[in-house]
Amino acid sequence: MRVTKKSGRSITKRVHSCLFLSLFILEIFSSSATANQSILVPAEFEIQADQKAPAPSQPTVSQEKPTFQLTIISDGTLCPIEDQNCADRNIWWKNFALLASDGHTLYLTSIPFTNVERSKKHFQASIKDADKILRRDPEFDTEGEIIGERALGSFPAAKDTKPPWGVPHYRLFWTWGKNYWEIGGEHLEDVLALESRLKDEGINAVWTWHKPYVR
């Protein structure tokens, strides 16, 4: 009986020793894994820190505003050649041919009608001739009163004529009381640039755009 008890106590001690050793080994592995994690986390932040920030975008260079040179001035009456005694025989139009700095030709036309109704009628005729009206707004004077109307449209090519009327083109036209004005050209950007220039300097500035005479 004593031998049996002694043997049982020996086995119990061995079991306790194995359990203690197993727990000790698990604690070592757990500590090792935690240590590895603490090392790996900063490494991830180091990789992110090494990534280069995107280079700032370069500012776009602003293009210079186009300039215009007055090349030809022409005039005439609204009456057709075959009927010089028509109702518009006393209405003289004036046309300014302008050469833009990009090499394109534009035309600025002025028609001083005798009354507002006649000017409006011509404006409506231009609206009707357009393929598409791109813009249409009232025209205001310096006091904020409506003095006319302004429209921008694309127009079809006219038969048996030279550019710009012989090809699809653009016209910006407006009324100022009894006066009718029109800008025509093949390229929309030229028409808009000329509109902006005339708004800044005034219509009469076109007379100063001629090439200086050199002897």
The verdict on residue 59 lying in a domain is no
The verdict on residue 31 lying in a domain is yes
Choose between 149 and 46: higher pLDDT. 149
What residue has token string 């005339």? Answer: 198
Q: Do 147 and 194 belong together in one domain?
A: yes
Choose between 27 and 190: higher pLDDT. 190
In angstroms, the CA 28 to CA 8 distance is 31
Q: Do 109 and 192 belong together in one domain?
A: yes
Q: Do 105 and 11 belong together in one domain?
A: no
Q: Do 11 and 82 belong together in one domain?
A: no
When pLDDT is cut at 50, 70 and 90, the band that residue 37 belongs to is: very low
Examine the pLDDT at 121 and tell me if it is beyond 50.
Answer: yes
Contacts of 96 (CB under 8 A, 6+ apart): 70, 72, 73, 107, 108, 109, 110, 206
When pLDDT is cut at 50, 70 and 90, the band that residue 53 belongs to is: very low
Backbone angles phi, psi at 100, to 5 degrees: -75, 160
Q: Do 10 and 75 belong together in one domain?
A: no
The verdict on residue 63 lying in a domain is no
Q: Do 49 and 78 belong together in one domain?
A: no
In angstroms, the CA 193 to CA 186 distance is 13
The verdict on residue 91 lying in a domain is yes
Question: pLDDT of 126-142, one tens digit each?
Answer: 999 999 999 999 999 98
State pTM to two decimals: 0.68
The verdict on residue 20 lying in a domain is yes
Q: Do 78 and 113 belong together in one domain?
A: yes
Report how many domains make up the chain.
2
Amino acid at site 152: L
CA distances from 184 to 21, 32, 35, 158, 181 (A): 98, 83, 79, 13, 10
CATH number at residue 114: 3.40.1000
Q: Do 105 and 8 belong together in one domain?
A: no
The verdict on residue 74 lying in a domain is yes
The verdict on residue 77 lying in a domain is yes
The verdict on residue 215 lying in a domain is no
Range of the domain at 34: 1-53
DSSP 168: -
Examine the pLDDT at 161 and tell me if it is beyond 50.
Answer: yes
